[in-house]
Amino acid sequence: MSTEQAPAAGAAHGFRRKMVGRVVKDKMHKTVVVEVQKFTPDPLYGKYVRSRTRYKSHDETNQYRVGDQVEIQEHSPISRDKRFIVVRLVKKFVEE
């Protein structure tokens, strides 16, 4: 038998990806669509190529709006498409 104790409440569940992106849609209830941009070098030419991916993320309080820059983190499946939760607001969108 193992002598290890169970992890304390609130302990980390291992490695979970964290990414920073911009909210592009907020029409759904408790869900925002976050677009994350990634720059990767082309294998042959070395030029950096921009790629973007959109993730549906859980927003419990419906507080994030289009244009806000947020940090999202991997989570266990919340619905069919949602696998991320919004962790924090990085930068609030200010319309001038």
Both tokens of residue 27? 């029409």
Other C-beta atoms within 10 Å of 17: how many? Answer: 9
pLDDT of residue 34: 97
Residue 78 exposure: Cα atoms within 13 Å on the Cβ side: 16
What confidence tens digit (pLDDT) does each residue in 75-88 have?
999 999 999 999 99
pLDDT of residue 5: 55
The CATH superfamily assigned to 18-91 is: Nucleic acid-binding proteins (2.40.50.140)
Q: pTM for this structure?
A: 0.81
Domain ranges of the chain: 18-91
What confidence tens digit (pLDDT) does each residue in 24-48 have?
999 999 999 999 999 999 999 999 9
**Contact of 55 with 21, CB cutoff 8 Å:** yes
Alpha-carbon distance 21 to 96, whole Å? 21
Alpha-carbon distance 11 to 9, whole Å? 6
